[in-house]
Structure 1
Amino acid sequence: MTSKLDQLKTMTTVVADTGDLDAIAQWRPEDATTNPSLLLKAAASDAYRPMLDDAVLLATRQGGSAAEQLTLATDILAVLAGKEILKLIPGVVSTEVDARLSFDTAATLKRARRLVELYDQQGVDTSRVLIKIAATWEGILAAEQLEKEGIRCNLTLLFSFIQAVACAQAGTHLISPFVGRILDWHLANTGRANYPASEDPGVQSVTRIYNFYKANDFNTVVMGASFRNTGEIEMLAGCDRLTISPVLLQELKNDHGQLPRRLSATNAASDEIIGPVDEKLFRWESNEDAMATEKLAEGIRRFAADQIELENRVKQLASVA
């Protein structure tokens, strides 16, 4: 019997949830996704030091205030990292817009377009880049416009069904519903010590979204993310894509048991009927979902904090004032 990882690859596109170039080279996933937290960890490695130096140099040449140079340097660093990652994979890489812009549609649009322009300046085929945006109402509006401009988006920090429906109706290319963080919330708030994989609330959330999309012929790609264990991954075998950390990739590689398909577009069924999602409905349904509201806010805060720490590291290592 082949490994569960090899079996998974026959039914799901496997994405590496890491910015570590060595790990990506080792696992050779189809795609890769990064965020400020992953870039912060990767930036401490020797492999990233030349990219840091180049990012600072390019940002300094652009002029502007110290603050403008700093944010530009971190954007360039993300792009240079994405460029190196694309050399190691055949598919696409996701690069995230600053989480501090999550409630500002215009600023998100401006930053997303800049990231694409920076990739173009580096000679990268921008069709291989997904712009990663938090799935706030403002973020979804920005993604809708970017998709019309031919810039494909990955809507992240997605915890609720209403977020998923709004993203699909906006025509976003891909969503990243978080599995493990949903489980974290339920463990912290229900008094339960554990959940079997089949009852995992994060797994159930992604399964519901997947079946709704396929049953209603939405083209938005579902990419499960933020896994806590391989049981969650196995219960979502057959999902369009799954982004998996190197630690869990290794566990799947070491396991040679049978891995059955759990999700299939052919067999997807959903009797849920959802009309057009406007801002009022989106905000009301979000307000009614304590888990999604709390985890979205927490995720934005965490990514923003790591973005700030990344900027501090750029200042410290490369003397950007």
Structure 2
Amino acid sequence: MENPRVNLLEYVQSRTQVDYDSFDIEAAREFGRYVDCTSNQFEYYTELAKNNRKEVLDRAVKFSERNRHKFPSVSFSELAVEAGIVYLAMEMRPLIDGDIHVMANPRYAFSKQRVVENAKRLHQLCKIIDSSFDTSRLVTKVAATWEGLQACRELKYSGIKTLATAVFTMEQAVLAGEVGCTSISPFVHELKALFDQRYQDNDPLLELCTQAQQWYRQESIPTMVKACATMGVEELLQLAGVDALTIIPGDLKELRSTYRLENEVKTLSLFGHTSTVPEKLSYPCYIDDEARYRVEFDAAEDGKAQLKLGQAITIFSDFQVKAENLVKAVEKI
């Protein structure tokens, strides 16, 4: 029987929505168009710190100077970073057919009201910077704390789409679906492993992606599973079949340049006959039961999930501060 070789990027795209996991527009142009684009504070800092992005940073600072009186609840530097985020997002539009994901300030992760205000402010900034932009394409990424997910619940009623990020447990996934998140991003690896080469995360949460997707379909919940924080091509092949994969430029390049036997790659997927997910999953309703949610989330993975979530929030918050410091450095010039 014929067993042809397949291009890995084409194979993954045949089974899964492939999203671009970066705001690096130069790298993005190498691969053509994407469905969605996603970003975070690491991306904002990295892009705004580049010499060839100085014009974007300068525009963001000038925007904050002109408009700070409209947003008295945030600092000058925070407003400038958010303007920079919007300018970067607007640049990605020609390459994106679907939604552009921007992350709420992670320092607000434990304040429902501040997350709500942040998401609404990002929408306001989009309209000020480019009134022609369709804000239904803007998705606010929110750290999946109890407070953050309750903010997503409120934002849904305001017509603002949200993605629950830094998801490490089914408790988070269940609540995200209940509050109406458009999508979730299960982190296959804890975030520290992606930033510290000396740190090894030997327990990837691949099955969390299959379980969350099965749960949503079982319960007729429209929330999409967008797997992220993967490490290497093998994990991407294992996740072929998930609703969406957010893939960094380096892995996109490797997928595009690699060919393997079709039967070999098909057997790697966890979505299908190799999945160990039970036929029917059972979880309680959490949306109005904060006490139960906190107890069960805190106990998940013997407490490790709570630490992973806190670690991710800390890492993203550090990059938020670094981005704001870029603005402060421009102010002093």
Q: TM-score of the superposition, structure 2-length normalised?
A: 0.86
1:306 aligns with 2:319: yes
Q: CA deviation at 1:110?
A: 0.6
Contact 1:215 1:269 (8 Å CA) reproduced = no
Q: 1:57-206 residue pairs with structure 2 within 5 A? A: 57-64=62-69, 68-121=75-128, 122-123=130-131, 124-181=133-190, 201-206=204-209
- Opposite residue 59 of structure 1, the aligned amino acid is S
- Opposite residue 308 of structure 1, the aligned amino acid is V
Gaps of 5+ in 1: 186-192
Q: 1:223-302 residue pairs with structure 2 within 5 A? A: 223-257=226-260, 258=262, 259-260=265-266, 262-263=270-271, 270-277=279-286, 278-289=289-300, 290-302=303-315
CA 1:114–1:63 in 2, change beyond 3 Å: closer, same or farther? Answer: closer
- Aligned-partner Cα distance in 2 for 1:184–1:319: 34
- Aligned-partner Cα distance in 2 for 1:183–1:96: 18
CA 1:78–1:270 in 2, change beyond 3 Å: closer, same or farther? Answer: farther
Q: CA deviation at 1:184?
A: 5.1
Which stretch shifts more, 143-152 or 250-259?
250-259
- Aligned-partner Cα distance in 2 for 1:94–1:286: 26
Q: CA deviation at 1:194?
A: 8.3
Q: CA deviation at 1:104?
A: 0.5
CA 1:269–1:18 in 2, change beyond 3 Å: closer, same or farther? Answer: same
1:30 aligns with 2:41: no
Q: CA deviation at 1:39?
A: 1.4
Q: State the partner residue of 1:190.
A: none
- Aligned-partner Cα distance in 2 for 1:66–1:223: 32
Contact 2:168 2:308 (8 Å CA) reproduced = yes
- Aligned-partner Cα distance in 1 for 2:53–2:297: 38
Which stretch shifts more, 272-281 or 33-42?
272-281
Contact 2:153 2:181 (8 Å CA) reproduced = yes
Contact 1:56 1:320 (8 Å CA) reproduced = no
Q: State the partner residue of 2:197.
A: none
Contact 1:183 1:202 (8 Å CA) reproduced = no
Gaps of 5+ in 2: 195-199
Q: CA deviation at 1:143?
A: 0.5
- Aligned-partner Cα distance in 2 for 1:55–1:245: 25
Contact 1:143 1:172 (8 Å CA) reproduced = yes
Contact 2:16 2:241 (8 Å CA) reproduced = yes
Identity among equivalent positions (%) equals: 28
- Opposite residue 280 of structure 1, the aligned amino acid is A
1:207 aligns with 2:229: no
Q: CA deviation at 1:269?
A: 6.2
Contact 1:182 1:202 (8 Å CA) reproduced = no
Q: CA deviation at 1:161?
A: 0.8
Given the alignment, which residue of 21, 28, 32 partners 2:25?
A: 21
RMSD across aligned positions (CA): 2.3
SS of residue in 2 equivalent to 1:156: strand
Contact 1:162 1:286 (8 Å CA) reproduced = yes
Contact 1:159 1:182 (8 Å CA) reproduced = no
Output one character per residue of 1:196-240: Cα deviation in whole Å (capped at 9) or x when no partner: xxxx64111211111222222111000000011111111110111
- Aligned-partner Cα distance in 1 for 2:138–2:74: 26
Q: CA deviation at 1:63?
A: 3.7
- Opposite residue 117 of structure 1, the aligned amino acid is Q
Contact 1:221 1:240 (8 Å CA) reproduced = yes
1:8 aligns with 2:3: no
SS of residue in 2 equivalent to 1:30: coil
CA 1:63–1:235 in 2, change beyond 3 Å: closer, same or farther? Answer: closer
Which stretch shifts more, 21-30 or 290-299?
21-30
Output one character per residue of 1:239-297: Cα deviation in whole Å (capped at 9) or x when no partner: 11100111111121122112325426xx9864222221121121111210222101100
